[in-house]
Structure 1
């Protein structure tokens, strides 16, 4: 993913929800089979451009401040 036109003093953090098994889900017995984790796929933030590598089968939330 690449976002352009962002401010120079940009701070980025993120959370990701992912699992290697596309059918994985939480149950009453396995309450944390799939859980949010810190996202470390931000590859570059410079000159108003943010680049990130998104994992397959994931949901990523980025916070830009």
Structure 2
């Protein structure tokens, strides 16, 4: 199973800052379960809650171009 970019980014930033999952959850104002779901790459998450976590790292969700061409 491939981890998505957002989950990998959040996990890496959390570790660089030396935060545990419970600490990140408390700082972002979200539940521990939500942090675990993000880091596990859950495909359906509330964008507003993801943005609360990303805000701690100076980021937010945004559109990314997807290459739909077939080779």
- TM-score when scaled to structure 1? 0.22
Greater share of residues in strand: 1
Q: Which has the higher contact order (CA 8 A, sep 6+)?
A: 1
Structure index of larger Rg:
1
| Structure with higher helix content | 2
